[in-house]
Amino acid sequence: MADVPRSAPRGAQHDAPLDALHDAPHDAAPPHRTRPDAPRDTPRRVAVAERAAPRGTGRGWAPSSRLLARAAALTAALTAVGALLGLVRDQLLAHEFGAGGGTDAFLVAWTVPEFAATLLIEDGMALVLVPAFAAALARRTDRDHGPGLRLDPVQALVRATLPKTVLGTGVAAALLALAAPGFVDLLAPGLPERRLAVDCTRLTATCLLSFALAGYCSAALRAHGRFLAPAAIYVAYNAGIIAAVLLLGPPGWGVRAAAAGVAAGGVLMVLIQAPVLWRHLRAPAAPPGAPAGQRPDASAPPPRLLLAALAPVVVFAVSRQSQVLVERFLAAPLPGGAISHLNYAQKVAQLPMVLSLMLCTVSFPVVARALAAGDTGTARRRAERDLLLAGVIVLVGAATVVAAAPQIVHLLFQRGAFDAADTAATATVMRVYALGLLGHTLVGALVRCYFSASRPLWYPAAAMLGGIALNAAAGGAWAGPFGAPGIAAANALGITVTAALLLFGLRRQSVPLDARGLVAGLLRLAAAAAVATAAGWWCAAGPPALAVALAATAVTAAFTATACALRAPLVPSLVRTANPFRRLAKART
């Protein structure tokens, strides 16, 4: 990774462009928009790293759309590699252990890293720390341009939060390892392989500490505009699990090898980020005239305020991940393999959602720093476009999943101990799960708008709790007559209601989105997805690989044509942008 040249001012180093993107694009901000204090010999690639914020809004961070697109592409590429390794991991588990009682025992212990990833990496830690680091970076910029602030606000934030994070999560990991038997009994009462589940839980408990450190590093790096190392964490994580299963699996440790891989993968996630973060946390030179040893400035948010902002985020993240707890609890009394079918179906069905949220992950620091600078217009425009674009991606993916679910599952998992009956059961559940993918994507994108201003907001947590209550009630009613598909349908219902509550409640919060306009656009996109699903279902014929390819092609073509006919948002402009003849003509011009 190339560093910003030392001749650049210190503030420019921390507001530099995204990883591997230091060369400025041709359509970036012109030279006259550079910072007034930049020396003349500062390279142009640093000068165009920022776009000036509107007057009176402070020093916002607004990288060009082209830079954000490249960062999103880089993040999506690494996420795709991580997801591919995740599929290899699941294929390996299915081949080695099938979908029986031993796999169910591991999946009960797998609840710990699933829960920890949401709370400590994806939602909880990121939603609190990205805005906090964004505000600290804004104050660091002010410090570099005036004598008001004396100490580095970023390092002050780290000193106030990192030791407490390590202590709290380390104690939690130790307590969970000790309480593993009670945890298993509470989560999956009547589980046949109870002892095996307890052993696996004690191994996976270590991820509470390692995931917390990984999430802390990811949030800090994203706030600095660095996305390469955070995007690679799941590559390292899944590689650790695969290596452990291959080295320690049958006939040695059995399914416990996968749990040991979870522990090893968590350590790898920290190791690939820590050196990068260390380079960015080194304090810049103090501004001229700053006395040594002074305390942090009074404008820095005190730890008490950060704790107040953390509480609703934790409740939201715990409530959201409780969907997994509800599903495992309701599926435990069902015939053996039900938990495994739900797990495999959910992992595959949620791939479109993961990819759709990559753009929101990249732009979240941009929205946070725009709000820190008082530029609500930039934050609103970016958030609205990201919501619609995420909707396009996830609806195309959901249509493909529904159209070719049996072929996808057959292609990915049907080998070894995973037989045709497991394929049929998993495909049915996967189709039902896909009905809630748009809701999951909207919840993941909208909650970033709520928490981007680093203020304690309880409405998202209340909406999520309402959705979980509906999920639990519907799942309890439908699990008996419908089995695992009924549990998946309850999940789709609960998350869709949560998304609706968050969308219509956002107008009074930090980013005043046009809820009615967004709903109208999403309904048109959903109508196009319905037509595309029918086209893909009709074309999904032949061997599994060919059927999936035909279905994906038909879904993409039908969705694009229908969305353009319905004048759905973004799709016509995306078609024009992707037109190679138009790009060639523009290049010649």
Condensed to tens digits (0 to 9), the pLDDT of residues 521-578 reads: 999 999 999 999 999 999 998 899 999 999 999 999 999 999 999 999 988 888 877 6
Contacts of 336 (CB under 8 A, 6+ apart): 100, 101, 104, 192
The whole-model pTM stands at 0.68
Cis status, amide bond into 250, omega within 30 of 0: no
DSSP labels, 61-114:
----HHHHHHHHHHHHHHHHHHHHHHHHHHHHHHHHHTTSHHHHHHHHHHHHHH
Whether pLDDT at 233 is above 90:
yes
Mean pLDDT of 481-506: 92
Surface-to-core class of residue 131, CB atoms within 10 Å of its CB (0-12 exposed, 13-18 middle, 19+ buried):
buried
Q: List pLDDT tens digits, range 138-167.
A: 777 655 544 444 567 888 888 888 999 999
Token pair listed for 147: 């004598």
> 24 is written with which tokens?
């400025």
The tokens for 541 are: 């014929």
When computed from its CA atoms, the radius of gyration of the chain, rounded to whole angstroms, is 24
CB 233 within 8 Å of CB 139: no
Is residue 30 over pLDDT 70? no
Which position has the higher pLDDT, 480 or 44? 480
- Angstrom distance (rounded) from CA 52 to CA 49: 10
- Going from N- to C-terminal start, the domains of the chain cover 67-140+152-281, 324-583
Per-residue pLDDT, 150: 56
Residue among 134, 157, 129, 141 nearest 13 (CA):
141
Give the tens place of pLDDT for each residue, 259-315: 999 999 999 999 999 999 988 877 554 444 444 444 444 444 555 555 566 778 888
CA distance 246 to 239: 11
